[in-house]
């Protein structure tokens, strides 16, 4: 259960990073 929770936090963190990258790229176009 602990592993699953850690995986979810990591996944959510990765997703947040990807969204920020996309927004940053759009801003720089």
For 1-29, the pLDDT digits (tens) are 688 889 999 999 999 999 999 999 998 88
Quote the CA–CA distance of 8 and 18 in Å, as a whole number.
15
**1 CA to centre of own chain:** 21
pLDDT, residue 28, reads: 86
Output the furthest CA–CA distance in the chain (Å, rounded). 43
pLDDT, residue 13, reads: 94
Q: Strand locations in the chain, DSSP E? A: none
pLDDT, residue 10, reads: 92
pLDDT, residue 15, reads: 95
Residue 7: both structure tokens together: 């995986």
């Amino acid at each position: 259960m602990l592993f699953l929770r850690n995986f979810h936090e990591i996944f959510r963190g990765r997703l947040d990073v990807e969204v920020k990258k996309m927004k940053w790229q759009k801003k720089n176009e």
